[in-house]
Structure 1
Amino acid sequence: MIDVQRLRVLRTVAEHGSFNRAAAALRLTPSAVSQHVAALERSLGAQVVARSTRGVTLTPAGRIMVGAAESVAAELVHAQRQVERLGSGRTRITIATFTSGGRLLLPGALAHLATAHPDTVVHVREAEPEDSLPLVRQGAVDLALAYHFDGPLPGRLGLGWTPLLEDPLHVVLPDAHPLAGRESLDIAELADEPWVLGCLKTEAYLRRYAERAGFDPEVRSTTTDYFFAGSLVAAGLGISLIPSIALTPRVAGVRTVPIGPPAPTRHIGLATLVRLSLPQVTTLARALRQQAAELDRSTPHPAARDGSG
């Protein structure tokens, strides 16, 4: 029988990357943490962590056990909520969302949920995907509105993923920029431009695309807000790369131009636990799919767009 406490310790070690930091988080001694992990390895007959001077990393067996630990923790949270509902008669669900997606997709979906399940108590947490996906796995939230760029969804182990919307990124330029009237642009045409970016992940994405095009972008300004980035573009500090759904509200004095194929794109979707679901979560997921479809139909597609409205 696998000890649940040892799984909890392993999950914390994986999260913090060292026995010392895991010990501090768990309020144990590093020696106790090491003993828990060693005991787990003996019970499994397999090594779960690789130790080095730089810390510890999970082995393939360790990754399997951390996934199991997250599933166990999520089921315990789910069971606790069921017990709470027995006493209160009300269901509570929590959704995590990134800002721009939540702003455009959540209000209509939540209104539909309120009509279908009027006794449901809803909590919303703002979180980027790197934070929200672990929260779903841990059972701390019921579902997460999230996104990823190229390639598969990172950290998907144990999660169901429902695609909602393709969100292409657009170049945002000052009105007077020589390229502002173009119907589309190739990323290589922007090699000599200074950049203003509204998200650190967008910067990493831009650098990957720029490397393929053979240049190193000059990033002069970074923010954590796309609207602020657009305002800096209007002020003449540079150009930006902004996802379509983050182009609302409009910033006066800028133009948006699509990037020609292959266009950099955010893939927006909904993450849930594979095995655990409430009727309210199913209703909200269905409403979010409907909101995404309506938004996709109403979003203008490749054409230069005025940012002054």
Structure 2
Amino acid sequence: MIDVQRLAVLREVARRGSFNQAAAALHCTASAVSQQIAALERSLGAAVVERSTRGVTLTETGRVLVEAADSIAAELADTEQRITRLTAVRTGFTVATFASGGRRLLPGALAGFVADHPEVELTILEAEPEDSLPAVREGRADLVLAYHLDGPPPARPGDRSGLDWTSLVEDPLRVVLPRRHPLAQSAPAALHLAELADQRWILGCRKSAGQLSRFAALAGLDLRISCTATDYEFAQSLVRSGVGIALIPQIGLADHPELVALPLAEPAPRRHLGLALSRRRRGHRARLAEDLVARLTAEARTLPS
């Protein structure tokens, strides 16, 4: 059997062109290199180098062996890297997000994040803000993509929330109509709730139902709500079927030729999207969180205004 260590010595002799230079690279004596080459030749029964006063050159047998030695060295290097990746300590990092925000913002931000941080064991949790914000406060999540409706954000500097809040973008709620609807045909700049008082409503979530009801109450309207769904795609499919009209956040809008999305006249309901981090964040995971905040902030700038 060919000795792999002797192959490595031959490979170095071939690269350097002499026993002395190979010995210097291998941190041993020229005599030791010569002995290894001689032992290799004895085991093969063939010469692998030709010695002369000008140095050494490979025989045909030597060239075949060096080619094999190059392949073996490459395989061993690749194997070492794979083992290093397998045995490396991976950093756990958990992101919590609400569904529509995650669908629009996370893929673009995470593509670069995952590529730049291969050591990270990433976990994504889908949760509404009432569940995700406590998760980051209690250390069960490192970063939360969340939203709030009217009123102040979930955390402000100096408060006792234990969170830092970074505002991202406003997410106005749009009225989604079938393209054949008379109001869609006339294409108004914005719809007033009073114009929609006789419509049947399909709402994409219970929170938007509550928000719309508050705005309707302020306008003195009693809206007819046919369905309160938990999925924006489902709500918009009902609009396509002619069941009613929907109130959908802009980032939850489906790009469908049979639907038209129009703004409501001000004051209009909207969501305020942002990111929450624990104020206790430290070390590598804190740096990861801040990196992802920067990527999500950049991604939010690409959303339509």
Q: TM-score range by the shorter chain?
A: 0.5 to 0.7
Aligned equivalent of 1:240, options 236, 246, 249: 246
Could you tell me which residue of structure 2 aligns to residue 6 of structure 1?
Answer: none
**Does 1:290 pair with 2:275?**
no
Structure 1 Cα separation of the partners of residues 267 and 112 of structure 2: 36
Structure 1 Cα separation of the partners of residues 229 and 194 of structure 2: 23
Aligned equivalent of 1:173, options 170, 173, 177: 177
Structure 2 Cα separation of the partners of residues 269 and 284 of structure 1: 13
Could you tell me which residue of structure 2 aligns to residue 211 of structure 1?
Answer: 217
Structure 1 Cα separation of the partners of residues 131 and 155 of structure 2: 10
Aligned equivalent of 1:259, options 260, 264, 273: 264
For residues 182-193 of structure 1, what are the structure 2 equivalents within 5 Å?
182-193=188-199
The amino acid that maps onto 1:274 is R
Could you tell me which residue of structure 1 aligns to residue 151 of structure 2?
Answer: 151
Structure 1 Cα separation of the partners of residues 154 and 116 of structure 2: 33
Q: Secondary structure at the match of 2:125?
A: strand
Deviations 1:52-78 (A, max 9, x none): xxxxxxxxxxxxxxxxxxxxxxxxxxx
Larger Rg: 2
Deviations 1:224-267 (A, max 9, x none): 1111111101111111110111013x234221111122221110
Structure 2 Cα separation of the partners of residues 198 and 161 of structure 1: 26
What is the TM-score when the length of structure 1 is the normalising length? 0.65
Q: Is the Cα contact below 8 Å between 1:198 and 1:223 reproduced in 2?
A: yes
Could you tell me which residue of structure 2 aligns to residue 51 of structure 1?
Answer: none
- Alpha-carbon offset, residue 116 of structure 1: 2.6
**Does 1:269 pair with 2:277?**
no
Deviations 1:198-237 (A, max 9, x none): 1011100000111111112111112111111111011111
Aligned residues: 210
Root-mean-square deviation (CA, aligned residues, Å) is 1.6
Structure 2 Cα separation of the partners of residues 113 and 281 of structure 1: 10
- Alpha-carbon offset, residue 165 of structure 1: 1.1
Could you tell me which residue of structure 2 aligns to residue 221 of structure 1?
Answer: 227
Could you tell me which residue of structure 2 aligns to residue 164 of structure 1?
Answer: 168
Structure 2 Cα separation of the partners of residues 219 and 154 of structure 1: 29
Structure 2 Cα separation of the partners of residues 155 and 292 of structure 1: 20
Structure 2 Cα separation of the partners of residues 148 and 177 of structure 1: 31
Q: Is the Cα contact below 8 Å between 1:231 and 1:251 reproduced in 2?
A: no
- Alpha-carbon offset, residue 269 of structure 1: 0.4
Unaligned runs of 5+ in 2: 1-86
Structure 2 Cα separation of the partners of residues 126 and 273 of structure 1: 18
More divergent stretch after superposition (201-210 vs 256-265):
256-265
% identity of equivalent residues:
51
What is the TM-score when the length of structure 2 is the normalising length? 0.66
Q: Secondary structure at the match of 2:225?
A: strand
Could you tell me which residue of structure 1 aligns to residue 102 of structure 2?
Answer: 102
Structure 1 Cα separation of the partners of residues 108 and 258 of structure 2: 30
Deviations 1:41-94 (A, max 9, x none): xxxxxxxxxxxxxxxxxxxxxxxxxxxxxxxxxxxxxxxxxxxxxx96221100
- Alpha-carbon offset, residue 193 of structure 1: 1.1
Instruction: Rate the CA distance shift 1:155–1:282 in 2: closer, same or farther, 3 A.
Output: closer
Q: Is the Cα contact below 8 Å between 2:190 and 2:265 reproduced in 1?
A: yes
For residues 26-45 of structure 1, what are the structure 2 equivalents within 5 Å?
none
- Alpha-carbon offset, residue 275 of structure 1: 2.7
Unaligned runs of 5+ in 1: 1-86, 302-309
Q: Secondary structure at the match of 1:294?
A: coil
